[in-house]
Amino acid sequence: MTTTVLVLNGPNLGRLGRREPQIYGTMTHADLRAHLVAAGEGLGLEVEVRQTDAEAEMIGWLHEAADNRIPVVINPAAWSHYSIAIADAVAQLEAPVIEVHLSNIARREEFRHHSVVSAYVTGTIIGLGFSGYDYALAHIAAMVDPDTEDPATRAQIRPGQVHSALGHFPQHPRGGVTISRTCRD
């Protein structure tokens, strides 16, 4: 059985590739979508990638995920740092939810150090660039694996799953994203 996963990206992430490439890399949101859909297939996940600059739209998607118990990978972008409305919507999710940040927000401006969303997620991945999404999907695949009955085991990522999920996103040694190829390479 295929599990659906929603990957939800917040404001300004639609401008990936053009937006501060020294921080976020040169790959576009379309590249990210294509890569994650393909990575999901390898993990038995049907991945749907959405992006919005509108808070109300994001909250609607989170309600949809809550009502249907759909696992979520979310990069709330700037909303992470101040939106109690997004945090309240994330708090309603019952299936696994992983927060991802492309950049290492802990080593950037102080206002980025705290995420109001983090208290309500299963786990957070920061600073690993696009690979952070791969790790999040691998973890969700492990958690929802119907062949693994023990929840404690389910919560562990099996190394093989991570390797099969990992894409072609070279990482900057200090946590930034150094991306010179596209996922179509």
Q: Which residues bind ligand DQA (CB under 6 A)?
A: 12, 75, 77-78, 80, 101-103, 105, 112
Of 47 and 79, the one with the shorter C-beta distance to ligand DQA is 79
- Tell me how far apart the alpha carbons of residues 133 and 126 are, in angstroms, rounded to a whole number: 10
101 is catalytic: yes
Of residues 35, 101, 133, 135, which has the active-site annotation? Answer: 101
Residues 148, 153, 159, 161: what is their CA dihedral angle, to the nearest 10 degrees? 30
CB of 156 to ligand DQA, least distance (A): 25
CB of 145 to ligand DQA, least distance (A): 27
- Tell me how far apart the alpha carbons of residues 182 and 185 are, in angstroms, rounded to a whole number: 6
CB of 102 to ligand DQA, least distance (A): 4
Give the burial class of 121: count Cβ atoms within 10 A of its Cβ; 0-12 exposed, 13-18 middle, 19 or more buried. buried
29 is catalytic: no
Of 45 and 77, the one with the shorter C-beta distance to ligand DQA is 77
Of 12 and 148, the one with the shorter C-beta distance to ligand DQA is 12
Q: Which of 62, 49, 51, 68 minimizes the C-alpha distance to 117?
A: 62
Q: Which residues are catalytic?
A: 24, 101
